[in-house]
């Protein structure tokens, strides 16, 4: 078994040797830029760990793991354009550093490269793995569209959980599932592993919602309060609308409808409302609920507990992160 640190190190070494280049250079420079910004590399590490859980060869998981990470960064590049985000991992976003058209086209090239990497599996696994990857990629797009639609209306918390399961969690589930497939695990165990990833992904996004408001700006790596500024329908905001009295709900609506405002004032005012309703604590409780569902799925996998410990430790660490 490999530790998470060893898997991360192996992946970073492979990423460092990746050469995505060509002419015109303006197409490829943004790709290498966003991949160089770092990050948790959670999805590729999960793919490799899913393979290792069942005794698979990590060498066979490296290129698909690169494909997952390239796809993830492609989605971030396009998300940043749609959200008009100025910062990604404490650096200017691609559309700010270059321009939106370049970011769109470079993102398209990343999607093609992701498929090229994902195809580097045993021939008999090619169609099923591409099917899992394509399905996840489509679900991510559906989740992003739902996220944009939600900006224009108040939705239920159930609708929100469904959206983040598509936008965020399905790619974590697919990463683990592909890892298990490369290791040729049985279907039941692969399904349990995917459920672990799905629920972990939902918990991870809820943690992200919390950090967007309450995270340390110096550690978070992107604009704190960005979701509030953009009127994103996060768990925190939807729970506030659910619990607010008429006067508080009116105040929330006024901030949501304002076109001309000082960003810091809006963030501070809505955060004060969150605090008055104990929204942070409620969000943390919901996050822990999905974390426990993930642990139930992990316990159902027919592998020795010591082989599961690495993924369990990773899941626990993600729930305690500051960034």
Q: Give the pLDDT confidence of 193-219 residue by residue, as tens digits.
A: 999 999 999 999 999 999 999 987 666
Asked whether the beta carbons of 89 and 38 are under 8 A apart, the reply is yes
Q: Domain limits at 49?
A: 4-318
In a domain, 93, yes or no: yes
Question: Half-sphere exposure of 189 toward its Cβ, with a 13 Å CA cutoff?
Answer: 17
In a domain, 323, yes or no: no
Average pLDDT, the chain: 94
pLDDT band at 220 (very low <50, low <70, confident <90, very high): low
The pLDDT tens digits of the residues spanning 260-287 come to: 999 999 999 999 999 999 999 999 999 9
**Mean pLDDT, range 78-103, rounded to an integer:** 92
In a domain, 76, yes or no: yes
The pLDDT tens digits of the residues spanning 280-303 come to: 999 999 999 999 999 999 999 999
More confident residue, 152 or 37: 37
**Mean pLDDT, range 88-102, rounded to an integer:** 94
In a domain, 161, yes or no: yes
pLDDT of residue 267: 95
Tell me the Ramachandran region of residue 221: left when phi exceeds 0, alpha when psi lies from -120 to 50, beta otherwise.
left
**Mean pLDDT, range 60-65, rounded to an integer:** 98
pLDDT of residue 221: 54
User: Phi, psi at residue 146, to the nearest 5°?
Assistant: -60, -40
pLDDT of residue 153: 87
pTM: 0.92
In a domain, 87, yes or no: yes
The dihedral sign for the CA sequence 76, 78, 83, 87: positive
Structure tokens at 200: 């972990």
For residue 265, the SS3 value is helix
**Mean pLDDT, range 296-318, rounded to an integer:** 93
- Say which CATH number the domain at 12 has: 1.10.600.10
Does position 222 have pLDDT exceeding 60, yes or no? no
Q: How many domains is the chain partitioned into structurally?
A: 1
Does position 29 have pLDDT exceeding 70, yes or no? yes
Structure tokens at 282: 């409620």
Place of tokens 């590399």: 41
């Amino acid at each position: 078994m490999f530790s998470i640190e060893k898997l991360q190190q192996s992946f970073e070494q492979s990423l460092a040797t990746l050469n995505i280049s060509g002419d015109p250079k303006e197409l490829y420079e943004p790709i290498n830029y966003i991949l160089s910004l770092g990050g948790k590399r959670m999805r590729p590490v999960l793919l490799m760990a899913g393979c290792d859980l069942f005794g698979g060869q990590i060498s066979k998981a490296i290129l698909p793991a690169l494909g997952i990470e390239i796809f993830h960064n492609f989605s971030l590049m396009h998300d940043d354009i749609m959200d008009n985000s100025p910062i990604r991992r404490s650096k200017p976003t691609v559309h700010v550093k270059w321009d939106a058209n370049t970011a769109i086209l470079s993102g398209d090239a990343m999607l093609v490269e992701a498929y090229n990497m994902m195809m580097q599996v045993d021939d008999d696994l090619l169609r099923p793995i591409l099917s899992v990857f394509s399905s996840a990629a489509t679900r991510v797009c559906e989740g992003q569209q739902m996220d944009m639609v939600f900006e224009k209306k108040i939705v239920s918390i159930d609708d929100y959980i469904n959206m983040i399961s598509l936008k965020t969690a399905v790619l974590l589930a697919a990463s683990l599932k592909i890892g298990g497939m490369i290791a040729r695990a049985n279907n039941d165990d692969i399904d349990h592993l995917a459920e672990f990833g799905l629920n972990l992904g939902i918990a991870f996004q809820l943690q992200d919602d919390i950090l967007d408001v309450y995270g340390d700006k110096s550690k978070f790596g992107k604009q704190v309060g960005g979701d509030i500024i953009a009127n994103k329908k996060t768990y925190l905001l939807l729970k506030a609308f659910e619990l607010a009295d008429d006067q508080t709900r009116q105040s929330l609506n006024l901030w949501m409808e304002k076109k001309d405002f000082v960003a810091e004032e809006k963030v501070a005012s809505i955060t004060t409302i969150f605090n008055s309703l104990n929204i942070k604590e409620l969000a943390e409780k919901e996050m822990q609920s999905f974390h426990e569902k993930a642990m139930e799925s992990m316990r159902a996998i027919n592998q020795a507990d010591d082989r599961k410990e690495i993924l369990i430790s990773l899941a626990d660490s993600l729930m305690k992160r500051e960034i």
